[in-house]
């Protein structure tokens, strides 16, 4: 169960879930050496490398999980840098919730600051035995 934890640990849980899912489905996973790139994983899908951004969701609105798609970081001093998803950042966004996971093409989420995982996104929900 994903409970309220600090954002760094929450991110680690999401990455672990993504690695588990892709590994269980026979894909080769590569991890970047640093966290300076806009993606979290590289997955070899049928000899094609795909960049995966991982997000986690722990809060609900109207019984659906809400996922914040922006990244925030401090830049030299106290300036806060807010970054939104771009099609150049990754190929897919893997979203982990306490109940389900989703793999959504990034082009669907570009320009959004958050997404509510309503039934509109059910086609991207992944379950045991399904393959991307």
Checking DSSP bridges between strand 41-45 and strand 64-68, what pairing results, if any? unpaired
Q: What is the pTM of this model?
A: 0.84
pLDDT at 36: 82
pLDDT of res. 122: 94
Is the per-residue pLDDT at 42 higher than 90? Answer: yes
How many other CB atoms are found less than 10 A from the CB of residue 4?
A: 7
* pLDDT reported for residue 12: 85
Residue 129, pLDDT score: 45
Whole-number Å distance between alpha carbons of 107 and 46: 21
CA distance 108 to 92: 9
Average pLDDT over residues 34-51: 92
Render pLDDT for 15-25 as a digit per residue (tens, 0 to 9).
999 999 999 99
pLDDT digits (tens, 9 = 90+) for 62-117: 888 999 887 766 666 667 777 788 899 999 999 999 888 999 999 999 989 899 99
CATH code of 7-126, in short, is 3.40.1350.10
Domain ranges of the chain: 7-126
């Amino acid at each position: 169960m994903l409970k309220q934890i600090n954002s760094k640990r929450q991110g680690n849980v999401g990455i672990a879930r993504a690695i588990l899912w892709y590994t269980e489905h026979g894909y080769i996973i590569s991890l970047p050496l640093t966290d300076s790139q806009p993606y979290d994983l590289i997955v070899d899908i049928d000899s094609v490398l795909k960049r995966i951004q991982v997000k986690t969701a722990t809060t609900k609105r109207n019984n659906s999980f809400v996922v914040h798609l922006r990244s925030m970081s401090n830049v030299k001093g106290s300036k806060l840098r807010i970054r939104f998803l771009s099609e150049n950042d990754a190929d897919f966004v893997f979203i982990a919730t306490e109940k389900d996971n989703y793999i959504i093409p990034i082009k669907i989420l570009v320009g959004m600051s958050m997404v509510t995982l309503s039934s509109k996104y059910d086609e991207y929900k992944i379950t045991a035995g399904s393959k991307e």
